[in-house]
């Protein structure tokens, strides 16, 4: 399963995520990335955006930044049935591209700004929670030190925020 977030596939990505979440009872959204490395911080900004809204009680946001392993106890306690990981990744695509990636397809994707390999985190989360897991991988343009997103990633952030609000049926504040 691989979908790209562009104008013509935004609806496809939404549909795939909704299908994937069809039997969800509790959803956890884990964002990984360094907010001090420009586009690598897109996930943290997504959590900030979504955190402004009243999320359903069955949806929990985790801003893991560069240490997702520090959140495993909280995630285990929450007992999600579905986990959406959000991370920037070297996809060899144009900046801002988002792919919905199955855990079995993660091996060839490069994630460089966190300490624990994503495959280990996924294996552990599956073991302790039995949750279904998927990755929203986002192609960064710039991961140099800095706190501002590039225009491409700002656009992607806006689209992902709207998409997640719609999927989780979020009401405006």
Is position 2 within any domain? no
Q: What is the C-alpha to C-alpha distance for residues 136 and 53, in angstroms, rounded to an integer?
A: 21
Tens digits of per-residue pLDDT, 3-23?
444 554 677 888 899 999 999
Tell me which residue range forms the domain holding 101.
7-167
Q: Residue 122 is part of a domain; what is its CATH number?
A: 3.40.50.1450
Is 142 part of a structural domain of the chain?
yes
> pLDDT at residue 137 above 50?
yes
Is residue 1 situated within a structural domain?
A: no
User: In angstroms, how far is CA 141 from the centroid of its own chain?
Assistant: 17
The yes-or-no verdict on residue 2 having pLDDT over 50 is no
By DSSP bridging, strand 59-65 and strand 27-32 are parallel
pLDDT tens across 75-111, in order?
Answer: 999 999 999 999 998 888 999 989 888 888 776 555 5
Backbone torsions φ then ψ of 102, nearest 5 degrees: -70, 145
Contact (Cβ atoms closer than 8 angstroms) between residue 163 and residue 56:
no
What total of structural domains would you count in the chain?
A: 1
Residue 9: which residues within 8 A CB-CB, separation 6 or more? 3
pLDDT of residue 10: 73
- Residue 86 forms beta bridges with which residues? 31, 136
Considering only CA atoms, which of 2, 17, 28, 33 is closest in space to residue 163? 17
Q: How far apart are CA 138 and CA 108, in angstroms?
A: 14
Does any domain span residue 60? yes
- 77 falls within a domain: yes
pTM reported for the whole predicted model: 0.89
Distant-in-sequence, close-in-space partners of 160: CB < 8 Å, separation ≥ 6? 5, 46, 86, 98, 136, 138
How does DSSP assign 20-57, residue by residue? HTTT-SSEEEEEES-TTBGGGGHHHHHHHHHTTSB--T
Question: For all residues of the chain together, what is the average pLDDT?
Answer: 87
DSSP 3-state assignment of 131? coil
Residue 105 lies in a domain: yes
């Amino acid at each position: 399963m691989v979908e790209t977030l562009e104008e013509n596939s935004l609806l496809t990505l939404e549909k795939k995520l909704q299908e994937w979440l069809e039997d969800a009872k509790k959803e956890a959204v884990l964002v990984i990335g360094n907010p001090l490395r420009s586009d690598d911080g897109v996930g943290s900004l997504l959590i900030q955006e979504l955190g402004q809204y009243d999320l359903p009680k069955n949806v929990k946001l985790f801003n893991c930044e560069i240490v997702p392993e520090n959140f495993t106890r909280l995630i285990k306690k929450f007992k999600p049935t579905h986990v959406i990981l959000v991370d920037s990744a070297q996809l060899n695509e144009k900046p801002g591209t988002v792919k919905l990636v199955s855990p079995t397809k993660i091996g060839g994707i490069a994630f460089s700004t966190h300490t624990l390999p994503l495959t280990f985190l996924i294996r552990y989360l599956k073991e302790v929670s039995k949750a279904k897991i998927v990755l929203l991988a986002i192609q960064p343009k710039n991961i140099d030190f800095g706190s501002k997103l590039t225009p491409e990633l700002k656009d992607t952030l806006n689209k992902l925020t709207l998409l997640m609000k719609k999927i989780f049926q979020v009401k405006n504040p």
